[in-house]
Amino acid sequence: MNFELDPEIAALRQKVRAFVEERIVPSEARIVAEDRENKRETLSRLQAEARAEGLWVPHLPAAYGGRGLGIMGMCALFREMGRSPVGAKVFNCDAPNQGNMDLLLGVGSEVMKEKYLRPLAAGEITSAFCMTEPAPGAGADPSNLRTRAERDDRGWVITGRKWYSTGGRDAAFLIVMARTSDDPRGGATMFLVDRKAPGVEYVRDIPTMSEPLLDHREGEIAFHGVRVGDDAVLKGVGEGFRLAQQRLVPARLTHCMRWLGLADRTLSMCKQYLVTRESFGKKLAQHQLIQQKIAHHALGIHAGNLMTYHCASMLEKGLDKESRPYSSMAKLHVARLLCDVLDDAIQMHGGLGYSEDVPFSTWYRYARSARIADGPDEVHEVVIARDFFTRGLELLV
């Protein structure tokens, strides 16, 4: 077991870290302000600089403009990108586009790759993943899937409603999960649907506790008899549930990578304040209750980092099925960790932390979704317990 990064990855990690700290962090407020006015000047400039420095879509093969780093390389780089809420977007590594790229790369036809993956990797278009539905449709329980695709002599007709389709408003295409039979295992299929296809209605941006930012706008979309051909089927009819697992396990990890970066930056910012602010006769950093909080979160970040690396190493070895409970462990731990770190950051900064003179309250509103997205805490707890009781989950790996 080697905990040292490959020299090339280590050098790239430092390069990404410097890019984030020196260029992206000073531009965060400007990017947010421009986004509110539907402008992207600063973001586009930074994206061009990232591309020029060979840091664009590093997870993808060279044929699509990347470096072919694989998931272990992603672990190292995505953590650094995640230090800023806008960081991943600068490198074209943000959700949902990054996960959709990986899915298309793995199972898309050559036609799909040319039509959708290549412009997506180039940053020319964006995409959305349409699986979650309003009640009583599919949420944490995918068997509740209500959107249907009916076969006829001209192809497929999709009818249903999705929500929390991140980035759906401006997406060029959608990956849509629909029920094609009542088979509990093979009853779902994924379709690639043009966002502007007849019958696709963008209902609304869903108002949430987190301010919309860049592609992170949660969309509700209705499908009114949307017609697609057989060439829109991703991999095969009945492969939807399997593809969802194939996409979601690494997607959970990439979320963890980015969240760890933001948690680490938050704790570093706390350090700067705690070693200078005096209260009750000494620096805040000298109070034992403060030291306890810092120690607890330092431990949590390190543990989450190791969980993420361990699960990523399993995926790199092709142990996709075996990695699932470990991905649930990582996602459950890191999502809670990020919320806890930000909550304590607000607390340790007192009135300043509650204000928006520091970004913690804004980041906390964004982070709170982490405990729901890609499966709520409770689902992951069930997965972990189930594997412990019935499948001999190994804890001392």
CATH number at residue 245: 1.20.140.10
Q: Is 193 helix (H, G, I), strand (E, B) or coil?
A: strand
**Pairing of the two strands 173-179 and 127-130:** parallel
| 21 lies in the same domain as 95 | yes
The verdict on residue 2 lying in a domain is no
pLDDT at 1 over 80: no
| 229 lies in the same domain as 140 | yes
| 217 lies in the same domain as 249 | no
**CB neighbour list of residue 253: distance below 8 Å, 6 or more residues apart:** 71, 75, 308, 311, 312, 315, 327, 330, 331
The verdict on residue 122 lying in a domain is no
Residues in the chain: 397
Rounded to the nearest angstrom, the gap between the alpha carbon of residue 8 and the centroid of all alpha carbons in its chain is 25
The verdict on residue 116 lying in a domain is no
Residue labelled with tokens 């050559």: 110
Residue 176's region, left for phi above 0, alpha for psi from -120 to 50, else beta, is beta
Distance CA 397, CA 395 (A): 6
Domain boundary among 172, 203, 234: 234
Rounded to the nearest angstrom, the gap between the alpha carbon of residue 385 and the centroid of all alpha carbons in its chain is 24
With beta carbons less than 8 A apart as the criterion, state whether 217 and 42 touch: no
pLDDT at 2: 80
Q: What is the pLDDT of residues 267-293, one digit of tens each?
A: 999 999 999 999 999 999 999 999 999
pTM: 0.95
Would you call the peptide bond into 376 cis, given omega within 30 degrees of 0 as the criterion? no
Domain with 261, as residue range(s), is 241-391
The verdict on residue 119 lying in a domain is no
Domain boundary among 108, 136, 158: 108
| 267 lies in the same domain as 357 | yes
**Pairing of the two strands 173-179 and 155-166:** unpaired
Q: What is the pLDDT of residues 219-278, one digit of tens each?
A: 999 999 999 999 999 999 999 999 998 898 899 999 999 999 999 999 999 999 999 999
Nearest alpha-carbon partner for 260 in 136, 80, 383, 5: 80
| 377 lies in the same domain as 255 | yes
Q: What is the pLDDT of residues 43-97, one digit of tens each?
A: 999 999 999 999 999 999 999 999 999 899 999 999 999 999 999 999 999 999 9
| 263 lies in the same domain as 331 | yes
Q: What is the pLDDT of residues 8-56, one digit of tens each?
A: 999 999 999 999 999 999 999 999 999 999 999 999 999 999 999 999 9
| 178 lies in the same domain as 284 | no
Distance CA 13, CA 79 (A): 9
The verdict on residue 63 lying in a domain is yes
One-letter amino acid for residue 173 of the chain = F
Number of domains in the chain: 3
| 350 lies in the same domain as 277 | yes
Distance CA 225, CA 234 (A): 19
Distance CA 181, CA 179 (A): 6
Q: Is 172 helix (H, G, I), strand (E, B) or coil?
A: coil
CATH code assigned at 71: 1.10.540.10
The verdict on residue 132 lying in a domain is yes
| 155 lies in the same domain as 246 | no
pLDDT at 181: 97
Residue labelled with tokens 């992206």: 24
Side-chain half-sphere exposure of 371, counting CA atoms within 13 A: 12
Distance CA 67, CA 311 (A): 21
| 60 lies in the same domain as 143 | no
**Pairing of the two strands 173-179 and 188-194:** antiparallel
Side-chain half-sphere exposure of 118, counting CA atoms within 13 A: 8
With beta carbons less than 8 A apart as the criterion, state whether 74 and 66 touch: no
Q: Once rounded to an integer, what is the mean pLDDT over residues 359-379?
A: 95
CATH code assigned at 153: 2.40.110.10
b/e map 43-54, b = 16+ CB within 10 Å: beebbeebbeee
pLDDT at 179 over 90: yes
Distance CA 307, CA 336 (A): 14
Domain boundary among 75, 108, 141: 108
Residue 129's H or E segment, with its range, is: strand 127-130
| 63 lies in the same domain as 164 | no
Distance CA 346, CA 244 (A): 36
The verdict on residue 377 lying in a domain is yes
Helix axes 360-367, 240-274, angle to 10 degrees: 160
| 309 lies in the same domain as 325 | yes
The verdict on residue 335 lying in a domain is yes
